[in-house]
Amino acid sequence: MKNHSPLRLAVCFVTAAAMLTHIPVAPAAEVVNPRCEYLADPLGIDATKPRLSWVIEEKDQAPNSRGLAQSAYQILVASTPELLAKDQGDLWDSGKVASDRSAQIEYAGKPLASRQQCYWKVCVLTDSPAAKAKPVWSKPAKWEMGLLMPDDWKAKWIEGTGYPEKPLHYLRKSFNLAKPVAKARLFATALGLYEMDINGGRVGDIIFAPEWTDYAKRVRYQVYDVTSMLAKGDNVLAGLVGPGWYCGHIGLGGFKHYGKVPALLAQLEVTYTDGSTEQIVSNASWKTTGSPILSSDFMKGESYDARLESKDWNLAGTDDSAWQSANVRDEKPCALESQVTDPVRKICEIPAKAITDPKPGCWTFDLGQNMVGFVRLKVTAPVGTKLTLRHAEVLNPDGTLYTKNLRSATSVDTYICKGGGVEIYQPHFTFHGFRYVELTGTPAKPALDAVTGVVVASDTRVTGHFACSDPRINQLYSNIVWGQRGNYLSIPTDCPQRDERLGWMGDAQVFVHTATYNSDVAAFFSKWLVDVDDAQRDGAFTDVTPGTGCGAGTPAWGDAGVICPMTIYQVYGDTRLLAAHYPAMVKWIEWCRVHSTGLIRNKDRGGDYGDWLSIGANTPKDLIGTAYFAWSTHLVAQAAKTLGKSEDAAKYDRLYQEIKDAFNKEYVAADGRIKGNTQCCYIMALKFGLLPEEMRAKAAQWLIDDITAKGDHLSTGFVGVSYLLPVLTRAGKLDTVFKLFLQDTFPSWLFSVKHGATTIWERWDGWTPEKGFQDPGMNSFNHYSLGSCGEWMFSSLAGIDTDGPGFRKLMIRPTPGNGITWVKASYDSVSGQIATSWKTAGDNFSLDATIPPNTTATICIPTKDEASVTESGKPAATATGLKFLRMDQGAAIYRAVSGTYAFTSKR
């Protein structure tokens, strides 16, 4: 036991607080959102030193309670809830640690074994200038260790029989439990996808498990608490496996990419009330038979014949003697690792808004929102009626479905009715990207509620909220969020509807920063970045991850292997993740070095994508390659500094300088003009810090000139667009920023909004009044990449940004501009919720800002004159918790402690 027993600590905290009771306003703090490895109460943690995090919230927001901060914490981890309740951390008692850190505190207690249950809480000592030493306990939280040793797995991979005619099988195992059950856990995974039932009830609420990985390298397993589903006596564990990413169709013609037949691995571990244990594992004793699912595939859809249903397939006591024995598969061992990310779940449901029949019997439902998931069908029809559901994002002018842009993804679900009343069906192992659904085969006009959209996505916690005075921008924001929701499905995909749906790296890197504002994607990227490193070849990051045969080493696509981990580090302060990926990041830089000539990335790379989908602006590909080579090198130098690798830091700083020199020599003229003279050239050069100081203004002017010459239009594709507004904002060109942002003629962000988009389109001209639909060979209406302006909407327009890693120090710099009169936004950062709300009226500007406890902020108030700035009605310079620092670029800059502030100023 450490010097500071929890009790003594608590007593000491309380005494300190009691001594200070004369202070009138003691800030009421609460410790909320306790997480282990980014997840709430996770089961199946493989990290042997899991990291714990919490957030401090302040309940009273009185001005004199400003500056609430954590001065110390104590974590207790116990092996039972009872011990924790008695403040006994038998696994770990951190002792009182004087620290303001509240994220990713590494467990440092007794070694943790497989299955260990860990119950924890944290006591936080908060201080503020108004009140000292307030101890606050979090509510108890927990985590449970997974199966850490290969030996822990006794289960065998099993599969059904009769492939390929009967591709989807039921599997079941009957067993008897001799004694009352105290605890039961199901560990399960599949090569393919699985669903498990116990005694007729569905286990868990995951829609697609396991996640998409390179199954030859690692398979993620899930853990479920199934204690309440089992009882003494007869029980049954039953399930289904489907092809999924493993052996169904995946993007660009991939089929049976990882294997031919899906397989299940299941291990049920029961602890009886007397402490003895028993395991029921997948093996040759399992039984199998065909299921009513005739086929199921991500791209093709699902076929289901309800006449083949057997009600009792998943019930105990069912006679399965006619079923066949499951095949045991001799799989090559691969790493079984636990689910470390938010799984794919149902996010919400969308009722149909309207129904039309553009052709007789073709009932077309409009859900009003382009979405990803599937339809739940509710019908009454005679036995044998075959109903067909087709899906599309858009309609032809005659009201029928436009499906050409799905290419070979037929996206058709069929259902054959069993008859006899209302039937409800939703598919099992498929998803579609759609707004419109066509139902055919019904005997009569279906009711509007025959079709409900079930939205599925990786269930990342929503963290961002944004609204402003322009409804078109609010729709744009909604489109960005729906783009992320639809495409963050196990991995970050490019699109959810056509036969592609791949983890395109360029798309991932341009959007990752925006994604971090919209929802908590730390765990999502923690998992996917492992896949990124798994796919790396000889140092070259692949163009898609999981790597499924596409190219590698492509500028701006491969660079995702550096940009994504750095962004996650910046946003969440996750140094462990950075350290884990650092070796792969370095390999990429060295690969780029070898594949350059004089540090200019090779010109003969045929397959580069350039500034993908730009509009009439041809940015030289070697220039993009060299610019990104420089930027990634710079980021690696920064990573090295963070990780204390000073030699590497110096080495890559030097290389960054050398690449910059090569870039300037090769591409930049004395008047600041850059070869290619596209917007993308200038954006990259400015964003990546490639130009000498004296050239920056010149380059910015070339950029402005090009935008003006195009009638205030952008011309950039995926690569340039994510930095367009940030670069112009930093250069102080706010006039141009707002003209571009509020532009609604082609090409612009609001062009698609004007034409009814409910998601971000892949192309600026996916549809135009003049030409109709773009080339169906590549025309998705749900690609998030061009929505990468979301980052600017939060960091600049609303003014919520981090100043250093992990939102410990904040940068609050709202950017008012012509055409928008108010913005209200909030962001649940890893350090707590930040909020801004600003308004303009003529010269008057006002800002309400919330700086969460335990953080400090630099707040920039737009004004020409600091004397005009007030806070809560008084001169800002005199306000509690604020310190005026200087005037800078048309703003008064203050240092602020945590709290809520109400500013006004004259601009």
Report whether 149 contacts 177 (CB < 8 A). no
Mask for 731-750, x = binds ligand BGC (CB under 6 A): --------------------
The nearer residue to ligand BGC, 72 or 550, going by C-beta atoms, is 550
List residues with catalytic annotation: 500, 762
Angle at which helices 718-730 and 679-687 pack, to 10 degrees? 60
Q: Can residue 313 be called a binding residue for ligand BGC (CB under 6 A)?
A: no
Contact positions with ligand BGC (CB under 6 A) in 807-866: none
Q: Cα 423 to the chain's mean position, in Å? A: 35
Q: Determine the Cα–Cα distance for residues 811 and 856; give it in Å rounded to an integer.
A: 9
Mask for 556-595, x = binds ligand BGC (CB under 6 A): ----------------------------------------
C-beta of 508: minimal distance to ligand BGC in Å? 9
The nearer residue to ligand BGC, 249 or 808, going by C-beta atoms, is 249
C-beta of 683: minimal distance to ligand BGC in Å? 18
The nearer residue to ligand BGC, 139 or 537, going by C-beta atoms, is 537
Query: In degrees to the nearest 10, what's the CA dihedral of 547, 553, 559, 565?
Result: 40
C-beta of 548: minimal distance to ligand BGC in Å? 13
Q: Determine the Cα–Cα distance for residues 342 and 347; give it in Å rounded to an integer.
A: 12
The nearer residue to ligand BGC, 506 or 625, going by C-beta atoms, is 506
C-beta of 500: minimal distance to ligand BGC in Å? 5
Q: Determine the Cα–Cα distance for residues 112 and 78; give it in Å rounded to an integer.
A: 12
Q: Determine the Cα–Cα distance for residues 355 and 374; give it in Å rounded to an integer.
A: 17
Q: What is the DSSP string of 193-207?
A: EEEEEETTEE-S-EE
Give the strand order in the sheet containing 822-829. Answer: 464-468, 822-829, 832-841, 844-851, 899-906, 870-871, 874-875
- Joined tokens for residue 92: 């770990």
Pairing relation of β-strands 335-338 and 218-225? Answer: parallel
Torsion sign, CA atoms 102, 105, 108, 114? positive
C-beta of 297: minimal distance to ligand BGC in Å? 20
Q: What is the DSSP string of 737-756?
A: HHHHHT--SSSSHHHHHHTT
C-beta of 762: minimal distance to ligand BGC in Å? 6
User: How far from each other are the two terminal CA atoms of the chain, in whole angstroms?
Assistant: 60
How many distinct helices (H) and strands (E) make up the chain?
A: 16, 54
Total residues contacting ligand BGC by CB under 6 A comes to 10
C-beta of 446: minimal distance to ligand BGC in Å? 34
C-beta of 545: minimal distance to ligand BGC in Å? 12
Contact positions with ligand BGC (CB under 6 A) in 460-519: 494-495, 500, 504, 506-507
The nearer residue to ligand BGC, 588 or 738, going by C-beta atoms, is 588
C-beta of 506: minimal distance to ligand BGC in Å? 5
The nearer residue to ligand BGC, 58 or 762, going by C-beta atoms, is 762
C-beta of 67: minimal distance to ligand BGC in Å? 46
Q: Determine the Cα–Cα distance for residues 10 and 124; give it in Å rounded to an integer.
A: 10
Task: State the DSSP code for 669.
Answer: -
The nearer residue to ligand BGC, 441 or 610, going by C-beta atoms, is 610
Report whether 126 contacts 117 (CB < 8 A). no
The nearer residue to ligand BGC, 292 or 610, going by C-beta atoms, is 610
Report whether 145 contacts 114 (CB < 8 A). yes
- Joined tokens for residue 781: 């209406």
Q: Can residue 302 be called a binding residue for ligand BGC (CB under 6 A)?
A: no
The residue assigned the tokens 């163009």 is 543
Torsion sign, CA atoms 738, 744, 745, 747? positive
The residue assigned the tokens 């939205």 is 455
Q: Can residue 612 be called a binding residue for ligand BGC (CB under 6 A)?
A: yes
Q: Determine the Cα–Cα distance for residues 209 and 863; give it in Å rounded to an integer.
A: 53
Closest CA to 335 of 576, 587, 579, 147: 147
3-state secondary structure of 16: helix
The nearer residue to ligand BGC, 375 or 495, going by C-beta atoms, is 495
Pairing relation of β-strands 193-198 and 201-202? Answer: antiparallel
C-beta of 255: minimal distance to ligand BGC in Å? 18
C-beta of 609: minimal distance to ligand BGC in Å? 4
The nearer residue to ligand BGC, 109 or 555, going by C-beta atoms, is 555
Q: Determine the Cα–Cα distance for residues 633 and 539; give it in Å rounded to an integer.
A: 14
Q: Determine the Cα–Cα distance for residues 876 and 879; give it in Å rounded to an integer.
A: 5
Q: Which residues contact 325 (CB under 8 A, 6 or more apart)?
A: 161, 284, 285, 286, 287, 288
The residue assigned the tokens 């499924």 is 548
- In the list 365, 524, 609, 723, the residue contacting ligand BGC (rule: CB under 6 A) is 609
Q: Determine the Cα–Cα distance for residues 687 and 728; give it in Å rounded to an integer.
A: 10
17-49: string of b/e by CB count within 10 Å (b at 16+)?
Answer: beeeeeeeebbbbbbebbbbbbbeebbbbbbee
C-beta of 228: minimal distance to ligand BGC in Å? 44
Q: Determine the Cα–Cα distance for residues 436 and 350; give it in Å rounded to an integer.
A: 12
Mask for 751-790, x = binds ligand BGC (CB under 6 A): ---------------------------x----x-------
Instruction: Give the DSSP H/E element, type plus range, for residue 601.
Output: strand 600-601
Closest CA to 54 of 122, 145, 136, 144: 122
Contacts to ligand BGC by CB under 6 A: 494-495, 500, 504, 506-507, 609, 612, 778, 783
